[in-house]
Chains A and B, each alone.
Chain A
């Protein structure tokens, strides 16, 4: 244990919202559960399909046809009985996003589309809580940590959504990007290390190369442009 009893206690008191129980949501939720994050809310609207199983490691062959939320709740609770898991089977939309996130300390973006990501971005800004962004395609992935008012928000970095597509996925990529996101969550909750603030982490699995691109706030950003810039440190309020 590298952060002691006090750190463990902080994790126990924390509540993290995970949007999506798929390729990214699986590794993120499993590792946050075993790390001892006290309350995990995970939301998904899908049913498990055989084609999900190459990457969505929360779900097993026997779960095909079940709701992802039911499977997620069962697995997370089994892997750590000492945490509270809230799994909600619903589509995240503009009418329910803020309520679903509730009093969570942070939002993990484990979605597969930008329209929903932009909604989560707005909720993170409104509640002034971090959004831990991740995205994958094939062997490529990206991640960044958005601290509203301090870092660029998702709209500053990606103002326009790419067209919807059926993208190729290999499970190792969401595994790796999910670990980056989960690491960011733990560091944020514990108040340690350097977060991916203002830095877009980019992973190229084909070349086995990691890059980072500096990203800046857009003063004219439609989502966060009117937020006053805050100091450059971020940690969970005790």
Chain B
């Protein structure tokens, strides 16, 4: 949703300036949800809510990442711009324009 609004010819950025974030899923998550998803978010969007919104597009994908209490499965790895985000911090970690988010499971087979 476009949230930059205009007065006449002057553009004014609201508190809800639009930003684009790239989400990369890996392995099983990628099979279920795709990858390199470019999505527009408003300022103040948190990591968890962003992934929740994207994952809900496929119930199987959602169940692969989140448990029945809508929390990340404890084994899920979350990264923002190459830095690890603890699951406990994800709900209060904001995403910003240009961020690259990675979400992946440990791959276990041998």
Bound pair (A, B):
yes
Q: Footprint of B on A, CB under 8 Å?
A: 20, 22-25, 109-114, 134-138, 140-142, 157-158, 160-165, 167, 169, 174, 202, 204, 206, 211, 213-216, 218
B108/A135 in contact, CB under 8 A: yes
Q: Is B79 an interface residue (CB 8 A)?
A: yes
Q: How many residues of B contact A (CB 8 A)?
A: 22
Q: Is B26 an interface residue (CB 8 A)?
A: yes
Residues on A with C-beta less than 8 A from B102 are 213
B75/A137 in contact, CB under 8 A: no
Docked CA distance A135–B75 (Å):
15
> Which of B77, B105, B108 lies at the interface centre, i.e. has the most chain A CB atoms within 10 A of its CB?
B108
Docked CA distance A138–B109 (Å):
9
Query: Which A-B residue pairs are the 3 nearest by beta carbons?
Result: A135-B107, A112-B110, A158-B106
Can you spell out 22 A-B residue pairs with CB atoms less than 8 angstroms apart?
A22-B110, A23-B109, A110-B110, A135-B106, A135-B107, A136-B110, A137-B27, A138-B28, A138-B31, A142-B27, A161-B75, A162-B75, A162-B106, A165-B108, A174-B110, A204-B26, A204-B27, A206-B31, A211-B24, A213-B82, A215-B84, A216-B83
Residue in A25, A112, A202 whose CB lies within 8 Å of B109? A112
User: With A202-B26, A213-B102 known to touch, is A135 a contact of B74 (CB < 8 Å)?
Assistant: no
Docked CA distance A141–B108 (Å):
9
Nearest CB of chain B from residue A28's CB, rounded to whole Å: 10
User: With A158-B75, A162-B75, A204-B30 known to touch, is A136 a contact of B109 (CB < 8 Å)?
Assistant: yes
Q: How many A-B residue pairs have CB under 8 A?
A: 80
A137/B26 in contact, CB under 8 A: no
Q: Footprint of A on B, CB under 8 Å?
A: 24, 26-28, 30-31, 73-75, 77, 79, 82-84, 102, 104-110
Residues on A with C-beta less than 8 A from B77 are 157-158
Residue in B79, B104, B108 whose CB lies within 8 Å of A113? B108
Docked CA distance A134–B106 (Å):
10
Docked CA distance A62–B81 (Å):
50
Residues on A with C-beta less than 8 A from B109 are 23, 112, 135-137, 167, 169, 174
> Which of B24, B27, B31, B105 lies at the interface centre, i.e. has the most chain A CB atoms within 10 A of its CB?
B27
Docked CA distance A135–B107 (Å):
5
Docked CA distance A141–B107 (Å):
7
B107/A142 in contact, CB under 8 A: yes
Nearest CB of chain A from residue B26's CB, rounded to whole Å: 6
Residue of B nearest to A136 (CB): B109
User: With A160-B74, A204-B30 known to touch, is A213 a contact of B79 (CB < 8 Å)?
Assistant: yes
Nearest CB of chain B from residue A157's CB, rounded to whole Å: 8
Docked CA distance A114–B106 (Å):
9
A214/B82 in contact, CB under 8 A: yes
Residue of B nearest to A220 (CB): B86
Residues on A with C-beta less than 8 A from B84 are 215-216, 218
Nearest CB of chain B from residue A198's CB, rounded to whole Å: 11
Docked CA distance A202–B106 (Å):
11
User: With A161-B75, A213-B82, A214-B82 known to touch, is A140 a contact of B27 (CB < 8 Å)?
Assistant: yes
B106/A161 in contact, CB under 8 A: yes
Residues on A with C-beta less than 8 A from B106 are 114, 135, 142, 158, 161-162
B75/A160 in contact, CB under 8 A: yes
